[in-house]
Amino acid sequence: MIHPRRLQEVTQRYCSTASPFIDALVGKCPHALLNEHDVAEEIRKSSLLEPEKDKLISNLWRASMANIAYDHIRVAEVHGPGSGGLSFDETIYEGKKGVTLDFEKFYDALKEIFRRVADLSVQSEQWFGNPNYLKERE
């Protein structure tokens, strides 16, 4: 899931020329979490230049809830107790206002990440982008 405000920030930082497009996309439902696949499709269908499309799509992960959790929770917990929590009280997810990040959501996200990494590894015959990983272990 993509956080709309973080998507705007990421776009401004990595592809500022696409900011008007992303602002309009987010403006349709300003507080709702966005499906990454749907955002990528909207970007592909847009009139943006191909390099802009590529830059945006390749950086979508930076606006993901997973990356926000990593930046603000995991990193803080590694370097000291108490992350201070995250407030998503204005964010809409599955039609409900306010998102609670709990163990079950994190665990489900971790399982999805593992599934995607495994699928990509099988398809590409590389593990975590390393084409020699499996060969080195033979």
Burial of 104 (0-12, 13-18, 19+ CB in 10 A): exposed
Residue 33 makes CB contacts below 8 A (sequence gap 6+) with 1, 2, 3, 4, 65, 91, 92, 93, 99
CB 26 within 8 A of CB 7: yes
Task: Give the CA distances from residue 135 to residues 14, 125, 130, 138, in Å, rounded to whole numbers and listed in that order.
Answer: 36, 10, 10, 5
Rounded Cα distance, 57 and 114, in Å:
20
Q: Residue 137's pLDDT is what?
A: 62
- For residue 129, the model assigns a pLDDT of 63
pLDDT tens digits, one per residue of 3-19: 888 899 999 999 999 99
Taking the chain (138 residues) in runs of 10, the rounded mean pLDDT of each run is 90 95 92 90 96 93 78 58 55 66 72 82 73 65
pLDDT number for residue 93: 64
Q: What is the pLDDT of residue 108?
A: 81
- Where do we find the tokens 């000291």? 80
- Which pLDDT belongs to residue 96? 66
**What pLDDT does residue 135 have?**
67
What's the pLDDT score for residue 50?
96
